């Protein structure tokens, strides 16, 4: 395009030079020709700007008087090594999708699985992948008010079709390269649906951040900082919200079993770990107590005075967290045991104190400090009769 610009500008300079040596009739003829050249020059400049706006994608204009009077056809400019071709062979359908998806990422569009055909044995013998903008939206009107969405389908005909080879694997039989829409710029390709994927490493980091109560949007900010920007993360913040939702749905109904399995694993690692879990008739956890070996050893030295308090509805299960704590010789708070209770009744507190005495080495504490809860006071007088009970101010 730069050469064309230079040639056209040279013609214009030549016309100016001729103005002083030619007759008036010839000058008029040259003026008419130069006007046409000037129009051609501006048209080529428009084409150049169109190509630059589409990230180097070559644009061809075609006309179809029956269907669409003016249809723009876009051909992606991708290196040959990444471009599919007829007769190309693959071992599995996963390889086909990965290769076509990689080609789509370099070109600037997203792909999806469209159709497949299976044999009598259930084996896929034909598979078709299309551009994500294949098809068109329905024009039927509905009385239901729906959320406005952007135009996602533009009747794109780009596709890749493979069939099962008699020698094994799959062979490309049809490859349509032309698109009816501009390609996505490199700065926005990470937003395309088929190229967004949360890796196993990112999922592991997200789970670790969830365990320390880091919110989802903060998790995404941390991953974006590590990757050097949101364009390098590989997925969107909404993808992370969806992933965390799917994870919660996966463990829903099995979290009690997971907690029990965790306690069993801890006990296998260290026999000094003690726990007790009680459930109701629906197999839901109602009471849970645990104490590890270090906490039990600490009680042996600093268990003469303990502090007991409960927190209310601070978790999604609406269970009460009841830790029993103390203070070491450095004035630091230490935890002797922990428990989850479904209610704050006298029976629950009696069960907790008896499990505490059973797990801890030595005698009962000499003094216990609590708040002025009547159920707690009654439980201490019954489960810890020789312990002084004091209220915290």
The CATH number that applies at residue 311 is 3.30.420
Domain match, 329 and 280 both: yes
List the single range of 36-40, 209-213, 349-353 with lowest mean pLDDT.
Answer: 36-40
Answer yes or no: is pLDDT of 390 > 80.
yes
Looking at the structure, tell me whether residues 277 and 178 fall in a common domain: no
Q: What does 36-51 look like in DSSP terms, one character per residue? A: HHHHHHHHHHHHHHHH
Shared-domain flag, residues 377 and 266: yes
Please indicate, yes or no, whether the overall pTM of this predicted structure exceeds 0.85.
no
Residues 182 and 81 in one domain: yes
Q: Which domain holds residue 232?
A: 196-251
Token output for 236: 């969107």
Task: Specify whether 158 is located in the same domain as 232.
Answer: no
Are 84 and 185 within one domain? yes
The mean pLDDT of 352-361, rounded to a whole number, is 94
Q: Which secondary-structure segment (H or E) carries 1?
A: none
Whether residues 326 and 289 fall in one domain: yes
Which of 177, 194, 211 terminates a domain? The answer is 194
Mean pLDDT of 313-321: 74
Same domain, 78 and 166: yes
pLDDT tens for each residue of 63-106: 443 445 456 788 888 888 889 999 999 999 999 999 999 999 88
- DSSP notation for 290-315: EE-HHHHHHHHHHTTEEEE--B-S-S
Report yes or no on 59 lying in a domain: no
Residues 238 and 327 in one domain: no
Q: Is residue 67 part of a domain?
A: no
- Count of domains observed in the chain: 4
93 found inside a domain: yes
245 and 259 in a single domain? The answer is: no
Is 212 in the same domain as 184? no
Assigned domain for 61 exists: no
pLDDT number for residue 372: 87
Site of tokens 């109701």: 280
- Within-domain flag for 360: yes
Confirm whether 58 is domain-assigned: no
pLDDT in tens, 58-73: 444 444 434 454 567 8
Tokens 């216990």, residue located: 368
* Same domain (yes/no): 186, 206: no
* 3-state SS assignment for residue 77: coil
- For residue 322, being part of any structural domain is answered with yes
Q: Residue 89: inside a domain, yes or no? A: yes
Nearest to 14 by CA among 33, 39, 1: 33
């Amino acid at each position: 395009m730069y050469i064309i610009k230079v040639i056209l500008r040279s013609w214009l300079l030549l016309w100016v030079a001729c103005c002083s040596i030619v007759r008036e009739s010839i000058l008029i003829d040259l003026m008419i020709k130069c006007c046409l050249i000037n129009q051609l020059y501006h048209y080529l400049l428009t084409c150049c700007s169109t190509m630059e706006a589409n990230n180097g994608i070559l644009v061809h204009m075609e006309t179809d008087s029956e269907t669409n009077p003016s249809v723009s056809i876009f051909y992606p400019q991708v290196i040959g090594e990444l471009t599919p071709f007829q007769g190309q062979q693959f071992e599995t359908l996963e390889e086909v999708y990965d290769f076509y998806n990689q080609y789509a990422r370099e070109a600037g569009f997203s792909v999806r699985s469209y159709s497949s055909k299976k044999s009598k044995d259930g084996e896929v013998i034909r598979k078709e992948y299309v551009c994500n903008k294949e098809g068109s939206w329905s024009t039927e009107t509905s009385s239901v008010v729906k959320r406005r969405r952007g135009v996602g389908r533009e009747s794109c005909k780009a596709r890749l079709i493979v069939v099962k080879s008699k020698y094994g694997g799959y062979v490309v039989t049809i490859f349509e390269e032309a698109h009816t829409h501009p390609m996505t710029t490199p700065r926005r390709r990470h937003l395309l649906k088929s190229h967004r994927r949360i890796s196993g490493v990112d999922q592991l980091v997200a789970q670790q951040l969830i365990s320390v109560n880091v919110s989802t949007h903060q998790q995404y900010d941390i991953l974006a900082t590590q990757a050097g920007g949101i364009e390098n993360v590989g997925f969107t913040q909404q993808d992370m919200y969806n992933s965390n939702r799917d994870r919660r749905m996966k463990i829903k109904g099995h979290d009690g079993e997971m907690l029990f399995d965790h306690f069993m694993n801890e006990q296998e690692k260290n026999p000094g770990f003690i726990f007790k879990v009680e459930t109701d008739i629906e197999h839901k956890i109602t009471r849970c107590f645990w104490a590890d070996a270090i906490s039990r050893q600490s009680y042996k030295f600093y268990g003469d005075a303990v502090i007991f308090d409960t927190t209310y509805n601070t978790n999604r299960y609406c269970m009460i967290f009841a830790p029993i704590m103390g203070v070491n010789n450095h004035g630091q708070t230490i935890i002797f045991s922990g428990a989850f209770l479904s209610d704050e009744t006298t029976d629950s507190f009696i069960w907790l104190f008896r499990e505490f005495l059973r797990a801890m080495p030595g005698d009962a504490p000499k003094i216990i400090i609590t708040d002025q809860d009547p159920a707690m006071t009654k439980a201490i007088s019954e489960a810890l009769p020789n312990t002084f009970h004091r209220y915290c101010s």
